[in-house]
């Protein structure tokens, strides 16, 4: 199969226009997403976790009271990424029909009433890379892999729990930030490589843009 895929950003009209007209990549930090409570939309307690370990039983020894050990029936230990507060993230929905991410899950419409659809996603990614390299910003972009809720091992910035799989996320991760949201990354207008539609029209528009044909 030969697949056409793209990226979609859903959000409020003001923010979608800033992305379209200025190429503003508004990026929040991992701690910000951890603190959100929005029914598994943006809020995720595992954001910024480097590694997770779990067990069914064990003994806990408090550092300040080593003589007072106690048993636990289920335990989970998470190790954070270094300098967590200095890592910023920009996210979009990856629409990949061959991977089952089309149509866009309607739960994503909670991000906002408008959607920006890229008509040339590779050009968008190339412009981002060029801008970030010119600013000497350490960065990486990739699709997110979704893992079991019982997963044990390395997590990192490109793995999330399967609860979020409906978001089919592509993300850009930038390091060495200022410990707060970033509004200093602009790639310029992308009007030539995108269209903006109402969120409830996004799947209809994508069905006209994406094609899958047998080879």
pTM reported for the whole predicted model: 0.85
Confidence (pLDDT) at 215: 41
Query: Is 48 within 8 Å of 34 (Cβ atoms)?
Result: yes
Average pLDDT, the chain: 88
Tokens of 28: 């929040």
- Compute the residue count for the chain: 215
The set of residues, in sequence order, having a beta carbon less than 8 Å from that of 27 and lying 6+ positions away, is 88, 89, 90, 172, 174, 177, 181, 182, 185
In this model, does residue 118 exceed pLDDT 50?
yes
Instruction: Tell me which DSSP letter residue 190 carries.
Output: -
Tokens of 21: 């007209």
Query: Is 113 within 8 Å of 15 (Cβ atoms)?
Result: no
Confidence (pLDDT) at 70: 64
* 90 burial via Cβ count (<10 Å: 0-12, 13-18, 19+): buried
Query: Is 17 within 8 Å of 34 (Cβ atoms)?
Result: no
Q: What is the pLDDT of residues 64-103, one digit of tens each?
A: 767 776 666 677 788 999 999 999 999 999 999 988 889 9
């Amino acid at each position: 199969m030969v697949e056409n895929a793209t990226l979609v950003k859903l959000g409020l009209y003001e923010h979608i226009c800033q992305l379209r007209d200025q190429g503003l990549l508004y990026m929040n930090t991992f701690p910000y997403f951890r603190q959100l409570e929005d029914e598994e939309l943006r809020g995720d307690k595992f954001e910024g976790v480097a590694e997770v370990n779990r067990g069914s039983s064990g003994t806990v020894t408090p550092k300040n009271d080593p003589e007072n050990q106690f048993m636990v029936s289920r335990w989970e230990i998470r190790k954070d990424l270094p300098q967590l507060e200095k890592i910023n993230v920009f996210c979009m929905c990856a629409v990949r029909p061959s991977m089952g991410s089309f149509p866009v899950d309607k739960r994503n419409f909670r991000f906002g009433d408008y959607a920006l659809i890229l008509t040339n996603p590779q050009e968008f990614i190339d412009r981002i890379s060029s801008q970030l390299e010119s600013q000497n910003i350490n960065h990486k972009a990739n699709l997110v892999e979704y893992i079991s809720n019982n997963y044990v091992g390395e997590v990192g910035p490109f793995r999330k729990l399967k609860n979020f799989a409906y978001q089919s996320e592509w993300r850009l991760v930038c390091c060495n930030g200022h410990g707060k949201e970033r509004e200093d990354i602009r790639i310029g207008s992308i009007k030539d490589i995108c269209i903006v539609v109402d969120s409830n029209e996004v799947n209809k528009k994508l069905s006209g843009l994406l094609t899958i044909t047998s080879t």
